[in-house]
Structures are given as structure tokens and as C-alpha cells.
Amino acid sequence: TKGLAEQIVGGLIVQTWDVFKVGDSIRILSGDSPTNFLEGQVVRIGLVETDLKGGDNVVTKIPNSQIINKKISNLSNIQTFQVKQTLRFHYEDLDKLPVLLKDIQSEIIATCPTVIQDGSHPFRVYLHTYNPDHMEVIVNCHFPIPPTNISPCIEIRQTVLLAIAKAMKQHSVDFAIPSIVQYKSSAKADDRIQTNGDDS
């Protein structure tokens, strides 16, 4: 069938390209969002499908015809681990922001001494954008450890998040919860419902 032929062609491509091999840890984007992905270790590359073993040891079979059309990152080739976090703050805390951002960065350095600061990788805490009901700040830092080393990476990420929380507590700053605006099917102005982070 046409579908089988496409999978076989995809298998031939996957088996001959140099994007990944058996034993590599890879990440396959499943959609447009960077948070929507499959991640695991390649345990088999077949003619029709590729087997990917996740962190829970569950093996997922992915048709090769789908793999060749996805964005793939080979984590085995990456030697640094990135922690990137978006923070949302209230506009009433705008005056506190310049000092808060510096203190978040200082707290990360104090609690995570291995954070890369030599300029080879970004280490930034900065105001990113304004939204109608909150400001967004980006925290972006890197560490000299492969992302395939799961347990230390989890510990590093947790330490960074706790450092952010500590700096916020020192300045008495809380996270902003974005408002969610819902519209009923009638689309009338008086049918608009606004909630604060609760879509129930």
C-alpha cells in the first residue's frame, strides 16, 4: 500500500542519514510547541518504524515516515544542559524589577556555582515582554553537563527554581496569574467571562 511504501522509504532514509543511531538519546518535536515532544533512547531502527525507549522504560514505536518530517535534536551530541524559565510578574512590581533581576542572577550563581558564565553560552535574566495583565521575564542559563544525565539535570533545574523563589521572597514579589478570557458561542460582549487562571 501507499502508506507502507512511504514508511519503507522513510526507513531507508532514517537508516542512511547521520542524525541519530542506535543508542543515542533524541528529542522529536511532535507539534509547533517546543514543549510538545517525544524524548528517549533509540533502541532499534527498523525498515518501517523506529523504537524509542523513554525514561520510564516504555518503548514507543514511531513510523519512519513521520520521523523524517519532524524536527529532531540528538541529545547525545549536546554537552551542556539548559534551564530556561518564563516568569510572570504583576505591573505593580515594575519598580522592583531591575534589582530583582540582578538578585535572581546572583542567587543562581551562589547556589549553582557550575553555571556557565564565560560568555560561551547565554546566562541572562531579563524583561522579555509586556502583556495586558502581566510582565514576562526570561531566565536562561546553561550548565556543563549533558542533558542525557537525567538525575543531575533534574537537581540543577530544581536548584535554579528555588534560587528564583528565594530572590522573589526577599523582595516580597509574587507570581502573576494571567487572566483567561472565555467567550460563549453567541460572541456577544455581555457573554464574556473573565477569570483569574481558573477555566472551570
For residue 32, the model assigns a pLDDT of: 66
Say if CB 198 and CB 180 are below 8 A apart: yes
Report pLDDT for 34. Answer: 64
Q: What mean pLDDT, rounded, does the chain reach?
A: 84
Query: What does the alpha-carbon distance between residue 131 and residue 186 come to, in Å, rounded to a whole number?
Result: 26
Give CATH 3.30.70.100 domain extents, the chain.
81-170
* Class level of CATH domain 81-170: alpha beta
2-77: CATH architecture: Roll (2.30)
Q: What is the pLDDT of residues 136-194, one digit of tens each?
A: 999 999 999 998 888 899 999 999 999 999 999 999 999 998 665 544 444 444 444 34
Q: Please state the pTM of the whole predicted model.
A: 0.65
**Mind listing the pLDDT tens digit for each residue in 38-62?**
888 999 988 888 999 987 889 999 8
Average pLDDT of 33-42? 80
What is the distance between the alpha carbons of residues 85 and 76, in angstroms, rounded to a whole number? 23
**pLDDT, position 11:** 65
CA pair distance 101, 93, nearest whole angstrom: 12
Counting DSSP H helices and E strands in the chain, the numbers are 4, 10
Residues of the chain with CATH 2.30.30.60: 2-77
Of 28-37, 90-99, 103-112, 161-170, where does mean pLDDT reach its minimum?
28-37
Residue positions counted in the chain: 200
